[in-house]
């Protein structure tokens, strides 16, 4: 039975995945984000890094030698630096896999085989292991070995064609959503494989093949549907392409997003801002009419919103039950009482890190997240632990 040993440090991390051992040989974002989710749910994650460390350890901003980027996606893990081309390090890595439940990599297809860990050999030696591989285009298909970064997948996956100002150039979404979505789908696949291993697959692990491109396409929803009926969507800035008002509107001091696309919400929004006559205007009386005349409707709404600050209109519309919100920057988010109440801005050294959005009643969160590890800081402990496991 593969039961990972835990030091006192790791026994303190409780969660529904407590008792699971995850070996993470991924780097940068998609794989580390996947294993961060597992760590937040209680799994023990050992981050195996190359001797020089994960490249994001030096990514700005860096305070007191620690990168905020690295801290965010690697908190709560243990670090050991291994050169898998060296026999001693390979032996230690194999000893870890002997007791691991999950292995996560995000190498390009073929790299694991070149390191001496061909998939068939992994499955034969560690049949209980759930092995998740994340790559730009997956393990199969004509583009399988093509290199990729988030920007490339946003472009090739159709997202940039949908993003940007109306009539303008394509724009990358401001967060690395192709990487993040691949990490999310990987975590879902891992949990499904673990559930099956404990049930219908009776102790057998699985191979999980995650393509960033696949994940991006899976999230295109309405755009993909429109393209198949001869209506490929164009860039529309902040507004919904098929409904209005759903856009970012100028106020006296900023922008307010209003999403009042049903008849009821539209009437409530216009009454709240003191323009009830717009609900009766023939141009805006139906959903189709509002979509067709969205520019005229936006001009009417902005003419009113220009008379007051964003906070005023936000409060007014919120009281009326209309979905709306200020377009906020990162400084606003860091001061947000809602996020603080939800434990989503968690202090860790010089930084505040995004917390775990999965709130489980049976597993209260710790006040502070465990920090990200220093490079190779767990070497002595892991050498002793896995040497004992081999003997």
Question: Is the confidence at residue 170, as pLDDT, over 90?
Answer: yes
Q: Could you tell me where the beta strands, DSSP code E, fall in 77-120?
A: 78-81, 102-105
Report which of 198, 207, 304 is spatially closest to residue 250, judged by C-alpha positions. 304
Reduce the DSSP state of residue 314 to 3 states and report it.
helix
What stretch of H or E contains 132?
Answer: strand 130-135
| One domain, residues 158 and 191 | yes
Tell me how many degrees the CA angle 154-242-293 measures, rounded to the nearest 5.
Answer: 130
What stretch of H or E contains 68?
Answer: helix 68-74
Q: Is 54 a catalytic residue?
A: no
* 2 or 370, higher pLDDT: 370
Give how far Cα 137 sits from Cα of 85, 149, 177, 183, 225, Å: 26, 11, 15, 14, 22
Rounded to an integer, what distance in angstroms lies between the CA atom of residue 138 and that of residue 122? Answer: 18
CATH code of residue 132: 3.40.50.10540
CATH code of residue 261: 3.30.1540.10
What average pLDDT does this structure show over 314-326?
98
> 326, 359, 380: which is the final residue of a domain?
326
| Domain extent for 384 | 8-219+346-390
Is residue 331 one of the residues assigned to a domain? no
Considering the chain, what is the average pLDDT of its residues? 93
Contacts of 292 (CB under 8 A, 6+ apart): none
Burial of 211 (0-12, 13-18, 19+ CB in 10 A): buried
Rounded to an integer, what distance in angstroms lies between the CA atom of residue 104 and that of residue 129? Answer: 10
Tell me if the bond preceding 245 is cis, omega within 30° of 0: yes
| One domain, residues 87 and 192 | yes
| Predicted pLDDT of residue 73 | 96
Q: How confident is the model at residue 239 (pLDDT cuts 50, 70, 90)?
A: very high
Contacts of 367 (CB under 8 A, 6+ apart): none
Q: Count Cβ atoms below 10 Å from residue 101 Cβ, excluding itself.
A: 25
Q: Report the C-alpha dihedral over residues 223, 229, 232, 233, rounded to 10 degrees.
A: -50
Rounded to an integer, what distance in angstroms lies between the CA atom of residue 264 and that of residue 268? Answer: 6
What average pLDDT does this structure show over 44-64?
96
Give the whole-number percent of the chain exceeding pLDDT 90.
Answer: 86
| One domain, residues 175 and 300 | no
Is residue 184 one of the residues assigned to a domain? yes
Q: How confident is the model at residue 242 (pLDDT cuts 50, 70, 90)?
A: confident
Q: How confident is the model at residue 390 (pLDDT cuts 50, 70, 90)?
A: low
- 10-29 pLDDT, tens digit per residue, is 444 689 999 999 999 999 99
| Predicted pLDDT of residue 368 | 75
Instruction: Please pick, among 24, 40, 105, 179, the residue that the annotation labels catalytic.
Output: 179
| One domain, residues 351 and 315 | no
Is residue 49 one of the residues assigned to a domain? yes
- The label of the residue with tokens 């030696």 reads 125
- 121-142 pLDDT, tens digit per residue, is 999 999 999 999 999 999 999 9
| One domain, residues 282 and 163 | no
Contacts of 330 (CB under 8 A, 6+ apart): none
Q: In what order do the strands lie in the sheet with 130-135?
A: 78-81, 44-49, 21-24, 102-105, 130-135, 206-211
| Predicted pLDDT of residue 8 | 38
Rounded to an integer, what distance in angstroms lies between the CA atom of residue 167 and that of residue 160? Answer: 13
Is residue 3 one of the residues assigned to a domain? no
The model's pTM: 0.92
- 205-230 pLDDT, tens digit per residue, is 999 999 999 999 999 988 888 888 88
Is residue 226 one of the residues assigned to a domain? no
| One domain, residues 122 and 40 | yes
Rounded to an integer, what distance in angstroms lies between the CA atom of residue 373 and that of residue 24? Answer: 13
| One domain, residues 69 and 211 | yes
- The label of the residue with tokens 């009113």 reads 304
| Predicted pLDDT of residue 3 | 36
| Predicted pLDDT of residue 7 | 40
Is residue 309 one of the residues assigned to a domain? yes
| Predicted pLDDT of residue 2 | 35
| One domain, residues 147 and 17 | yes
| Predicted pLDDT of residue 388 | 64
Q: Find out whether 44 and 22 touch, Cβ atoms under 8 Å.
A: yes
| One domain, residues 139 and 268 | no
Is residue 192 one of the residues assigned to a domain? yes
Is residue 302 one of the residues assigned to a domain? yes
| One domain, residues 100 and 186 | yes
Q: Find out whether 213 and 135 touch, Cβ atoms under 8 Å.
A: no
Report which of 195, 189, 211 is spatially closest to residue 135, judged by C-alpha positions. 211
Tell me how many degrees the CA angle 136-68-55 measures, rounded to the nearest 5.
Answer: 45
Report which of 136, 138, 220, 237 is spatially closest to residue 179, judged by C-alpha positions. 136
| One domain, residues 205 and 85 | yes
Question: Is the confidence at residue 5, as pLDDT, over 70?
Answer: no
What stretch of H or E contains 131?
Answer: strand 130-135
| Predicted pLDDT of residue 13 | 64
| One domain, residues 263 and 383 | no
What average pLDDT does this structure show over 111-119?
93
- Number of domains the chain contains: 2
| Predicted pLDDT of residue 10 | 43
Q: Report the C-alpha dihedral over residues 5, 7, 13, 16, rounded to 10 degrees.
A: 10
| Predicted pLDDT of residue 222 | 85
């Amino acid at each position: 039975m593969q039961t990972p040993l835990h030091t006192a440090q790791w026994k303190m991390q409780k969660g529904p995945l407590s008792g699971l051992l995850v070996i993470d040989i991924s780097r940068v974002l998609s794989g580390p984000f996947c294993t961060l989710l597992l760590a937040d749910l209680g799994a023990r994650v050992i981050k195996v890094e190359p001797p020089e460390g994960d490249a994001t350890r030096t990514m700005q901003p860096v305070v007191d030698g620690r990168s905020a980027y690295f801290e965010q996606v690697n908190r709560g893990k243990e670090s050991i630096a291994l050169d898998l081309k060296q026999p001693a390090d390979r032996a230690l890595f194999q000893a870890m896999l002997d007791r691991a439940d999950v292995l996560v990599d995000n190498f390009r297809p073929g790299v694991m085989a070149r390191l001496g860990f061909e998939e068939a050999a992994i499955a034969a030696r560690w049949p209980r292991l759930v092995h998740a591989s994340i790559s730009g285009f997956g393990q199969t298909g004509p583009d399988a070995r093509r290199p990729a970064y988030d920007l490339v997948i946003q472009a090739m996956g159709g997202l940039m064609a949908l993003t940007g100002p109306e009539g303008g150039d394509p724009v990358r979404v401001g967060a690395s959503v192709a990487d993040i979505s691949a990490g999310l789908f990987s975590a879902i696949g891992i949990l499904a494989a673990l559930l099956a291993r404990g049930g219908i697959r009776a102790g057998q692990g699985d191979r999980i093949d995650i393509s960033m491109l696949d994940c991006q396409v899976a999230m295109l929803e309405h755009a993909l549907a429109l393209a198949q009926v001869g209506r490929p969507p164009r860039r529309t800035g902040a507004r919904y392409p098929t409904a209005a008002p759903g856009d970012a509107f100028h106020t006296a001091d900023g922008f307010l997003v209003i999403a009042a696309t049903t008849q009821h919400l539209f009437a409530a929004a216009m009454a709240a801002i003191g323009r009830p006559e717009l609900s009766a205007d023939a141009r805006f009386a139906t959903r189709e009419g509002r979509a067709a005349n969205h520019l005229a409707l936006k001009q009417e709404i902005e003419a009113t919103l220009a008379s007051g600050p964003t906070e005023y209109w936000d409060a007014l519309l919120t009281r009326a039950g209309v979905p709306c919100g200020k377009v906020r920057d990162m400084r606003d988010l860091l001061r947000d009482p809602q996020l603080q109440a939800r434990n989503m801005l968690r202090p860790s050294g010089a930084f505040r890190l995004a917390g775990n959005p999965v709130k489980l009643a049976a597993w209260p969160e710790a006040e502070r997240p465990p920090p990200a590890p220093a490079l190779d800081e767990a070497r002595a402990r892991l050498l002793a632990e896995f040497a004992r496991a081999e003997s």
